[in-house]
Amino acid sequence: MKFRLLTLLGATAAILASALTAEAQTALKWAHVYETSEPFHTESVWAAEEIGKRTEGRYKIDVFPASQLGKEADINQGLKLGTVDIIISGSSFAAREYAPIGVTYFPYIFRDPAHLIAYTKSDVFKRLAQGYEDASGNHITAVTYYGTRQTTSNRPIAKCADMQGLKMRVPDVPAYLAMPRACGANTTPIAFAEVYLALQNGTVEAQENPLTTIEAKKFYEVQKHIVLTGHIVDHLNTVVSKNLWSQLSDADKQIFTEVMQEAAERATKIIEEREKKLVETFKERGIEVTEVDKADFESTVMDKVKLEDFGYNKEDFEAIRAVK
């Protein structure tokens, strides 16, 4: 009888402990618009699992890829509405809350990926990130190299003037529009998820994205030319909502930050390695890959586009360009 009672008490204690653990576990949603094959997803999944481990299961983070919880504008809004807790998104969307951070998308501001990563460790980045946090309440924990944006087209392009009149899909972001418009393209905003069909049916003749995105979204199937304009060295921010960040203890903030930065480093390395291989891969598929005189594009942009027209701070621009 005594043994049965002890067994019963032990089982009850185990059930109560399990219930308390379940109750203590916080479920979080991490959203982005990228495909499951891309490192922005695979490394987010790794980070979600790693945060769970390092917090002893107190957080269960589910990652929702490929616009499952909405397009990029939707998930940014979701940070406010509480429908998402963590997102991966570009500074173009952060700029809707705090315009100065959008200067990082201005054409030819970064020399290469190494320059971008150096910027993320600089005082000017800390200032811009803090400005975004002050304006939105959301916290940027990490920055991932997204890729260097190149142009694809159904007609050859060798110099900036060759883009005159080109029907081109460009995200509705001021800095993204700068180079194509300076070169005379007719730009149109189309949702990321709809770009392939728009290229296929001729709604637009061209678009711009990093080589890895051109590969993942199979844009090469509906374009004849890849033009290495290299106009923007692009990046993504890992952003934690104001609500979640304010509730985390200092220790948990450190865990989230360390893991997310490690995930960003892992994804950055993968992207850099893939980009190096893709030029040859596209050539092997019969796509015309063209090197261009970037100086021609850059000088045209700087002649025709003024930072002030975008509301960007010239001092920020020059400070970023000066980062070593």
Tokens at 49, concatenated:
């699992």
9 inside domain: no
Residue 123 located in a structural domain = yes
SS3 annotation, the chain: CHHHHHHHHHHHHHHHHHHHHHHHCEEEEEECCCCCCCHHHHHHHHHHHHHHHHCCCCEEEEEECCCCCCCHHHHHHHHHHCCCCEEEEEHHHHCCCCHHHHHHHCCCCCCCHHHHHHHCCCHHHHHHHHHHHHHHCCEEEEEEEEEEEEEEECCCCCCHHHHCCCEEECCCCHHHHHHHHHCCCEEECCCHHHHHHHHHCCCCCEEEEEHHHHHHCCHHHHCCEEEEEEEEEEEEEEEECHHHHHHCCHHHHHHHHHHHHHHHHHHHHHHHHHHHHHHHHHHHCCCEEEECCHHHHHHHHHHHCCHHHHCCCHHHHHHHHCCC
The pLDDT confidence band at residue 173, using thresholds 50, 70 and 90, is confident
Per-residue burial over 220-243, b if 16 or more Cβ lie within 10 Å, else e, is bebbebbbbbbbbbbbbbbbbbbe
- C-alpha span between 40 and 146 (Å, rounded): 8
CATH for 131: 3.40.190.170
Span of 190-199, 273-282, 304-313 with lowest mean pLDDT: 304-313
- Does residue 110 sit within a domain? yes
- Between 129-138, 163-172, 173-182, the lowest mean confidence (pLDDT) is in 173-182
Distance CA 105, CA 175 (A): 5
**pLDDT number for residue 11:** 52
pLDDT at 308: 83
Of the listed ranges 172-181, 234-243, 272-281, the least confidently predicted one is 172-181
Mean pLDDT of the chain: 92
In the structure, what pLDDT confidence band is assigned to residue 10 with cuts at 50, 70 and 90?
A: low
Residue 286 lies in a domain: yes
pLDDT at 20: 45
For residues 146-166, average pLDDT: 96
pTM of the model: 0.82
- Asked if residue 195 has pLDDT above 70, the reply is yes
Give me the domain span that covers residue 155: 26-322
- The residues facing 207 across adjacent strands are 152, 169
Kindly state the greatest CA–CA separation across the chain: 92
Considering the chain, what percentage of its residues have pLDDT values greater than 70?
93
pLDDT (mean) for 7-24: 50
pLDDT at 12 over 70: no
Output the pLDDT for position 4.
55
Q: Is pLDDT above 80 for 293?
A: yes
Specify if 315 maps to a domain: yes
- % of the chain at pLDDT higher than 90: 83
- pLDDT tens per residue, range 56-104: 999 999 999 999 999 999 999 999 999 999 999 999 899 999 999 999 9
Report whether 149 contacts 231 (CB < 8 A). yes
Number of domains forming the structure of the chain: 1
12 domain residue, yes or no:
no
Position 8 in a domain: no
């946090």: which residue's tokens? 133
Does residue 21 lie within any of the structural domains?
no
